[in-house]
Amino acid sequence: MESRRVTKTLADQWMVERQVREIYDYFYSIPPNSQSVILELQRDKHFDYLTRGLRKLGPSFSVLDSNRPWLCYWILHSIVLFGESIDAKLETDAIDFLTRCQDKDGGYGGGPGQMPHLATSYAAVNSLITLGSPRVLSSINREKLYTFLLRMKDTSGGFRMHDGGELDVRACYTAISVASILNIVDDELIHGVGNFILSCQTYEGGIAGEPGAEAHGGYTFCGLAAMILINEVNRLDLPRLIDWVVFRQGVEGGFQGRTNKLVDGCYSFWQGAVAFLIQRLNLVAHGQLGLSNDLSTESADDSSESELSDEEEHLEGTSSHVQETCPLGQEGQENASDTTKIEDTGYEFINRPIAMQPLFDSMYLQQYVLLCSQVDGGFRDKPGKGRDHYHTCYCLSGLSIAQYSWTDEADSPPLPRDVFGPYSRNLLEQIHPLFNVELDRYYEARKFFSCL
């Protein structure tokens, strides 16, 4: 009989499974008190690793010269997820650097004097929102940034990453995310975006970077989040999308980014957030998906009338929040109680109750992140890889997603049973899943920009 041919991909998969199995076998063979120690988030070591990276990076990081706002975001966001903050001098230095990355014609470049780019604009804006003070938020030139976003708009409806740059779903998300969180989104910006993203949903159900390409976890998050922010998520084929994403959680507990690819810690966020977002698509989920009762949560109503009533209550809550944060009579707020505006989509969405149970094994994902991705200061892709700030950011974001995936209301902490490991040590701050910024920082930014 002809022997089975083993491809490199299959051999790599077996190697990863063996490494992960050894880690899990050892973990479950030791006493419970020792298990608890191994499961702890090494907060002090992570904080030291992150703050040192914000102060100074070695020569090997020169390849990331055009990604310096991303380094700021990955580091600052990770620190805030621990509930920590940086000292005043480091904060001042970060603000000064990001301000120098802002182009005179709008948008942010990868460093001072570099051309503006949608990806680094997203990273810079999220960094400044994470720092959070009114002085910091005031440094963002929204008018010129809006002009830059319009300049990146393509006739196809999508966006280009920079002048003459690539046209893809990532550009659509970063543009819409920035416009939404800064309260500058309008019909001109969103026109045709839904058509472009819809053309990128593949036969598998996930979303590719561009039409005809392969479904990918990062692009699927970008496409789904953007469609939610422009109120066109009902146009996606959600049954196929769900079918694709649930099969991306591997035997290791973590997520893979594409079909037949290796597990990677960063997809704890990219894929985990996709599942988390779908949980809150109340009307769309019950209407398009035809959910059975075993997927519904205890708080979810079975009738469409009850679902509609819940939605209307949240719309009213959104309007009242706008009126509280902006004085009556301020320009543009007189009709705030009529309907939810496009710029309020992010707030309304996070305040929806969950419509179904998590679509992934949240405890198994936490186990993978804590046992296989965590090292002494920072997080990594998988066993055998080195730590870096990118994976630290998205492993922690995914860990937060997993911890709060059973929480029905925003601002409510998860139950101890939903957090893997020691609760007081491992519980992270909650993020807004559409923007991947810490939730309280999002609320502060929304309040600030809704009054401008």
pLDDT at 4: 75
pLDDT at 353: 84
The pLDDT of residue 331 is above 60:
no
Q: For residue 287, what pLDDT band results from cuts at 50, 70 and 90?
A: low
Alpha helices in 191-303 (DSSP H): 193-198, 217-229, 238-246, 267-279, 282-288
Q: For residue 297, what pLDDT band results from cuts at 50, 70 and 90?
A: very low
Mean pLDDT of the 155-183 span: 97
**Neighbour count for residue 175 (Cβ, 10 Å):** 27
Q: For residue 3, what pLDDT band results from cuts at 50, 70 and 90?
A: low
Residue 64: partners with Cβ closer than 8 Å, 6 or more residues away: 70, 71
Percent of the chain scoring above 70 in pLDDT: 86
Alpha helices in 82-207 (DSSP H): 88-101, 118-131, 134-137, 142-152, 169-181, 187-190, 193-198
The pLDDT of residue 282 is above 70:
no
Q: For residue 383, what pLDDT band results from cuts at 50, 70 and 90?
A: very high
Mean pLDDT of the 104-121 span: 97
The pLDDT of residue 305 is above 60:
no
The pLDDT of residue 169 is above 90:
yes
Helix pair 32-39, 8-29: axis angle to 10 deg: 130
pLDDT at 182: 97
pLDDT at 283: 57
Q: For residue 290, what pLDDT band results from cuts at 50, 70 and 90?
A: low
Return the SS3 of 159: strand
pLDDT at 285: 54
The mean predicted confidence, pLDDT, of the chain is 89
Question: b/e per residue, 244-274, with b = 16+ CB within 10 A?
Answer: bbbebbbebbbbbbbeebbbbbbbbbbbbbb
- Return the biggest CA–CA distance within the chain: 82
**Amino acid code (one letter) for 70:** W
**Neighbour count for residue 148 (Cβ, 10 Å):** 23
| Residue keyed to tokens 């975006």 | 193
Q: Which two tokens stand for residue 272?
A: 């985990």
Closest CA to 392 of 369, 371, 419: 369
Tens of pLDDT, residue by residue over 23-33, are: 999 999 999 99
Closest CA to 80 of 116, 46, 115, 122: 46
When mean pLDDT is compared across 90-94, 245-249, 281-285, 395-399, the lowest value belongs to: 281-285
The pLDDT of residue 176 is above 70:
yes
The pLDDT of residue 299 is above 80:
no
pLDDT at 329: 32
The pLDDT of residue 60 is above 50:
yes
Tens of pLDDT, residue by residue over 186-221, are: 999 999 999 999 999 999 999 999 999 999 999 999
Mean pLDDT of the 381-391 span: 97
Beta pairing, strands 431-432 & 387-388: unpaired
| Degrees to nearest 5, angle at CA 124 with 118 and 130 | 135
| Active site residues per annotation | 216, 258, 261, 264, 266-267, 381, 388, 391
Each as own residue / partner, the long-range contacts of residues 62-65 (CB below 8 Å, 24 or more positions apart, any chain) are 65/110, 65/111
The pLDDT of residue 170 is above 50:
yes
